[in-house]
Structure 1
Amino acid sequence: MATNYVAVDIGASSGRLMLGQLKEDKLKLQEIHRFTNGFAKKEQHDRWNIDHLIKEIFIGLEKIKQMGIDNVKLGIDTWAVDYVLVGMDGKKIHDPISYRDHRTDTAVAELTSALPKSYIYEKTGIQFLDFNTLYQLYKEDRDCLAKTDKIMMIPDYIGYVLTGNAVTEVTNASTTQMLNLREGLFDQDLLKEVNVKPEQFPRLVEAGTVLGNVRYKWHVQYDIPNTEVVTVATHDTASAVLGTPGVGKNWAFLSSGTWSLLGAELNTPENGQAAFAENYTNEWGAYGTYRFLKNIMGLWICQRVRHEYNDKYSFAELAALAAKEAPFQQFIDVNAKRFENPDNMIAELQAYCRETNQVVPETVSQVMMAIYSNLSLFYANELSKLSQILKHPIDTLNIVGGGSNVALMNQMTSNLADVTVYAGPSEATAVGNIIVQMITSHEVKDIQHGRQLIKASFNIKQFTAEAGKYPGVLANYQAFLSKQKQPYFNSVG
């Protein structure tokens, strides 16, 4: 009988439970339960309703039990950097604050006035984002920290609630900007700067560690299967990269969701001066790898625009509308801080174009083409930088996640960067989550065999560069960016 694997995959706007099974040498996925996520203002901060997420996991597990499935393995992945403070009584002190909260707006400048950025980057290899856990803890309420027994990343906390066992999984822990690249442990000097002790973090574990069984008390409250929790690559980007087919000799990945994460999978970190200057990050991956990548604002912009049109259009409809417009009518630095969490995204995009004396997108189709055009330009520009830093050409780009379904953007990226694009699977995060569970269960030998299984199981679409399609556009975009104020995410000082 096939083993039943459950991927709990929670992003900034939604979460779902995906059921995976190996059938006829192919991985079959089925969405069992989907639920909403989002932050709301509470106690003066934007906070996540973590109890809601946990309840929805149990609702999904009940649905699986109703399918006649009595035993499952389960892995949890979520977004990175956010955390839960747990008191001496084993309970959360308050709901976790979202990384989009404005409390950290000045934290990078304040903290790095004492510790140079080059010093922090040499230690951690992690890019400077003002919402990294390092800066969140720097701004954390000191009374709350004094009462804190354990600091748990979001997926680790969920696993703790389910099983009673607390760990810190390394793919997510690395995004804190507090892990020392050489020592493989939390850096003592950085912890002191934010008044945190090493023992306040549960023990570090690698992806693929068995966490334990769901506690008996939850079986009393919910009618759920017997569930063994495996600590997978808990950072959703880490799972997405593991769920990438890895087609090509010198391949790069683009995990295209709320955030776009573009980079390459390396066996050794790259934290030299060139990487520092471009603010590239070395997040730890599973099985001894590193995700050398750049954060790009991503489909967050599309999600906000869709919501501001009262969710009238599906994402597929928005892409179809965009295709009716000519591309590259304006240049936009999609990574500018102003697009991180504006009151109105459409108005912010239009204001940017006015301020830079460019064509202002007015209609739905014009706004969406402006977004897709400039995301494609940003991707192509970053691929060029990535190739320069790694000192070898990038011949293929593997796009996974929801953005892999936007054929218009895939083709524009292929043309602009002159690379072959392989798109899919769109459910790469859930796939990578399950692949780690399968390796832990010895149903798949290793990640190389896992990627072979992915290629055999999913329809991977290919986009070939059309020579000379957009002559000079990328060069003009690069010149435009160089004249603007240095992009927020590139500012390392």
Structure 2
Amino acid sequence: MKKHIAIDIGASSGRLISGILNDGKIELEEIYRFDNKITKKEANDFWDIDTLFDEIITGLKVAKKNGIDECTLGIDTWAVDYVLVDYEGNRMQEVYAYRDDRTEKAILNIAKKISIEEIYEKTGIQFLQFNTLFQLSVHDKDELKKAHKILLVPDYLYYRLTGEFISEKTNASTTQLLNISTKEYDQDLLKLIGVKREQFATLFDPGKVVKKVIPNLRDQYDLPQCEVICVASHDTASAVLGVPGTNNKFAYLCSGTWSLMGVEMAHPIVNAQTYAKNYTNEWGAYNTYRFLKNIMGLWLIQEVRRNLKTEISFTDLTKEAERITPFQFLINCNDACFLRPENMIKEIQNYCRRTGQLVPSTGGELARCIFDSLALTYRKTLEEINVITGYSIESLHVVGGGVKNELLCQITANVTQIPVVAGPIESTALGNLLVQMISCGDLENILEARKVIIKSFAIKTYQPIKIKNLDEVYKRFIQLVGTN
């Protein structure tokens, strides 16, 4: 029975999860969990990349002590952030976090040199101020010139484990530097920001073997014999692979700090309409595209909870929200004011005040405001996807941490008026593991893998309940947020 390990790192935590295929079902076991957070040094925000690597090593040591002597291994993390490596193979600088405000005016500055419409035509990627294109555009030019390689975070961790430089495709596409027609880094955009193609590694497909863990590392720390496999290293790409949808009439919602909502496509959609609506065509595993929109997700409630003066669990906040009359307070979840405010509570209250609404004051009211607004945003996004793709979405698959929020799942079903299929929670680690299993021959393809997920994990369906004044509420929401 082959053993596989997913290293899955998010903005607040990371973990190593082992997976095996046993009697037609996938069995998961968490081996090790660790914290992750943005650290501030002087005026900037960074990731502690060395600590993350040390935690991976610690987790692999635990795996060995737990009896895993041999396995495959894959890594997924968040997207867009990068590491500069010099010609001696050493990290050159601290790793900027995407929420750092250095890119606040980057899109405007780039637009002075090249139209943003042309960038979208080249890449098919939506405009977010923290995309790697804009991060590199404001990076110190002398430091960039000295860099031998520019690696995204999971590619750097692969390098530390194996000594090999790779540029995994699903994550590389989020940089807004890949040309959607040539399937390569775009020379015009590279020249625009002062970097060269050779500073990026060879593009790697998910499922391709990278190398074994460096023998010295294995011997020094008594690690398992690990064959490292390139998985879909963008956590959203892995999460979508873990969606148990078996037909082409479903949309997915990867619900966590961000809400990533879209459909899986065989071809990208790049036109004036998708540009105007700011949809993205991120590359997926197995020759697919993730046609989706980024929506500010549970970050909103995470920050509200952090700003509350009293300690309260997410469960209790949700229970309080259940008792609040729905749709009293609505916000545009994607408004830039919510990206990184000093105080999320005050920002939401100020937004409601500015827009002539009642102002939420309690934790329950704030939570209800967020959940209602997210659900309405999901409906708006689904309607746009239906029009753009010509699909008629029949169900919405929710995966990730948001699966645990039963209230939000039910509100979403009620507002969208389609079934919401919730689960599995561990879709990102699952997607990571599925690529390893397919690469090793445990599973034939992703369709078979998704059928195995349905057999292996508890999945709950929320049927829509009719709301009398839904049309009026939705009209008011659209007037509030606009059509884009």
TM-score range normalised by the length of the shorter chain: over 0.9
Does the 8 Å CA contact 2:246/2:451 hold for their aligned counterparts? no
Q: Residue 333 of structure 1: SS of its match in structure 2?
A: coil
Structure 2 unaligned spans of 5+: none
- Residue 221 of structure 1 deviates from its aligned partner by 3.3
- Residue 306 of structure 1 deviates from its aligned partner by 2.2
Alignment of 1:217-296 (within 5 A): 217-247=216-246, 249-296=248-295
Farther-moved stretch of structure 1 (61-70 vs 274-283): 61-70
Does the 8 Å CA contact 1:248/1:396 hold for their aligned counterparts? no
Q: In structure 1, what is the equivalent of residue 320 of structure 2?
A: 321
Alignment of 1:26-175 (within 5 A): 26-42=25-41, 44-175=43-174
Q: Does 1:12 align with 2:7?
A: no
- Residue 87 of structure 1 deviates from its aligned partner by 0.7
The amino acid of 2:350's aligned partner reads A
- Structure-1 separation of matches of 2:26 and 2:317: 30
Q: In structure 1, what is the equivalent of residue 296 of structure 2?
A: 297
Does the 8 Å CA contact 1:247/1:398 hold for their aligned counterparts? no
The amino acid of 2:474's aligned partner reads L
Q: Does 1:355 align with 2:354?
A: yes
- Structure-2 separation of matches of 1:199 and 1:113: 26
- Structure-2 separation of matches of 1:310 and 1:422: 35
Does the 8 Å CA contact 1:247/1:422 hold for their aligned counterparts? no
- Structure-2 separation of matches of 1:51 and 1:89: 17
The amino acid of 1:102's aligned partner reads D
- Residue 331 of structure 1 deviates from its aligned partner by 1.4
- Residue 421 of structure 1 deviates from its aligned partner by 0.9
Q: Does 1:199 align with 2:191?
A: no
The amino acid of 1:230's aligned partner reads I
- Structure-1 separation of matches of 2:300 and 2:31: 28
- Residue 31 of structure 1 deviates from its aligned partner by 1.3
- Structure-2 separation of matches of 1:91 and 1:355: 50
Does the 8 Å CA contact 1:249/1:395 hold for their aligned counterparts? no
- Residue 314 of structure 1 deviates from its aligned partner by 3.0
The amino acid of 2:295's aligned partner reads I
Q: Does 1:211 align with 2:210?
A: yes
Q: In structure 2, what is the equivalent of residue 394 of structure 1?
A: 393
- Structure-1 separation of matches of 2:419 and 2:236: 22
Deviations 1:412-455 (A, max 9, x none): 11111111110000110000000000000010000110111111
Alignment of 1:433-452 (within 5 A): 433-452=432-451
Deviations 1:267-318 (A, max 9, x none): 0000111111100000000000000000001011122222223783333332
- Structure-1 separation of matches of 2:158 and 2:469: 48
- Structure-1 separation of matches of 2:34 and 2:308: 21
- Structure-2 separation of matches of 1:323 and 1:61: 42
Alignment of 1:400-411 (within 5 A): 400-411=399-410
Q: Residue 228 of structure 1: SS of its match in structure 2?
A: strand
The amino acid of 2:161's aligned partner reads L
Q: In structure 2, what is the equivalent of residue 457 of structure 1?
A: 456
- Residue 398 of structure 1 deviates from its aligned partner by 0.6
- Structure-2 separation of matches of 1:196 and 1:404: 41
**Distance change (3 Å), C-alpha of 1:462 and 1:52:** same
- Residue 48 of structure 1 deviates from its aligned partner by 0.3
Farther-moved stretch of structure 1 (69-78 vs 236-245): 69-78
Alignment of 1:424-435 (within 5 A): 424-435=423-434
**Distance change (3 Å), C-alpha of 1:171 and 1:240:** same
Structure 1 unaligned spans of 5+: none
Q: In structure 1, what is the equivalent of residue 180 of structure 2?
A: 181
- Structure-2 separation of matches of 1:469 and 1:148: 60
Q: Residue 136 of structure 1: SS of its match in structure 2?
A: helix
Q: In structure 1, what is the equivalent of residue 332 of structure 2?
A: 333
Q: In structure 1, what is the equivalent of residue 476 of structure 2?
A: 476
- Residue 61 of structure 1 deviates from its aligned partner by 1.1
Q: What percent identity do the matched residue pairs reach?
A: 47
